[in-house]
Structure 1
Amino acid sequence: MNTKVYEPIPARRVAFLGLGVMGGPMAGHLARAGHQVTVYNRTAAKAAQWVAQYGGQAAATPREAAQGAEFVFACVGNDDDLRSVTLGADLGGGQRAADGAFAGMAEGAVFIDHTTASAEVARDLHAAARERGLHFVDAPVSGGQAGAVNGVLTVMCGGDAEPFAAMQPVAMAFSRAVTLLGASGAGQLAKMVNQICIAGLVQGLSEAIAFGQKAGLDMKQVLDVIGKGAAQSWQLDNRGRTMVDDQFNFGFAVDWMRKDLGLVMDEARRNGARLPVTALVDQFYADVQAEGGGRWDTSSLIRRLR
């Protein structure tokens, strides 16, 4: 049941490209907030299913979805997918470069990218948008599938102040906070900081739970106690008990985390940052993948210790 309370703002014409586990509910919140939503998904059946649930309309290409939209949101898989929906390259199915969203957007329209991608592609697309009289805001999110479903994502943005100010109240339909952190690419860099923090936290929590179990402690009771002190974290509160129970068939997949950490390590090589713990945890996630756990939640790191 949807319990999100939407701030009353004028209805906007928007498009949403990519209706996966994140994009589908995010687009749904835009529709429920009263906006006129046109969706595009590479698998057309998923777009038709979304329309049946939320209303609005589906388009056959990103360009068609973007036509007439003041704001075009996207949440796709990676840098290449993002280039495809914006510029039209390698869309497949006989589609051409002219089928990208940028080709359909009116001058002054804003493209908001919620994909976790590289800072480099954000800067490239920001420049490409400006050449066409458009705006581009990189806006990766944190909060996972549950945050998307409940409309309480945290959105980290990079780009220009004016288009950010225009898109912020619209994006609040699926968010608890939408914040501009700097120039183009800053949103993606902030998401990398987020993933570095999570990698270290989950490994530390895995070691703590595995240690406590080896010591014969009732770890659910221990987690209840230490969760009231300095060890408290989102990961402990939301993943501690399921880690004790060896349950991982939900949440943010290891495959996705490895993609994100790959972006982190690439950026660290460019800027000279030293990330010894992050690099190690990335390899631990590779071990989990090798065990067949690519789709398990990231808390499955503890499997290596059992």
Structure 2
Amino acid sequence: MRYIRNGWQSTKDQFPVVIILFLYQLLWGVFLYRLINSAIIPLLQRYPDPAPGELSRILFLIEGQLELKYSSEVHLYFWLLAGMFILRMLLTPLIQAGILYGLRPLTPDGAGLVFFQGIGRLWKPVTVFYLIELLLVLGPAYWLGPKLLDLLVQGIQSGGYPLLYTAIYILGWLIYGYLIHQLLLYAKFGYIFGRGMLPSMLSCLRQLLTVIGISLCLGGVTLLLFGAFSTVSWIWTGFLALILQQSYPFIRSLLSIWHISSQYHLWNEKN
């Protein structure tokens, strides 16, 4: 809890960065809303009503397959979504660079300006770390993907153990991805603050229980707030629900920086 409290102090110092990330997340939400409103909802409205017979359902599926294959409008939406996904992948390491650079003792320039200075000074090494993380995390998909697909098909057909094995494989993959992310986060601390990547990664392994404890505490807070916001939105629909749903990206951005800051204070004390 000491590291979480210290991380909160650093997060308050970077509050302008939280606002920047909130606006960034809000823009992504607007984009996805507009995409769903203009592409997905018209498709769903074409589903036969009242409840279709077998023939009308088959005709709907055939029409959908033809649209996916030949419609230029569908292809436009696909390339637009792919382009925005690639753009987000390009922006992610830049944002990480600004946040990590802001963990230094703040200069008179203020957190907002330090954030953009960090992007300019650290975007290259942080991008390399980001690409390494993607390769390490997504690499097992080459072997796991076909196996998970087979198990999923078997589970849908027969139920039972194949679905359980699928869940175990996915859980193991998520744990593996978390460990890779944390090791590389500590490696970035060591590289940026000049204390060595290998000693920092070994420090992460030595303090692994504390590292996981910080993640579980702040992750639990995130799930609790998300559940509370969603429950209130379902019960009291209207303007209050809209405010709560739109404020969730702010909470998520705040807790993301809080988690990084808490891990930084743990690394800084042990190194």
Provide the TM-score with structure 2 as the length reference: 0.27
More strand by share: 1
| Bigger proportion of residues as helix | 2
Instruction: Return the structure number with greater relative CO, CA threshold 8 A, min gap 6.
Output: 2
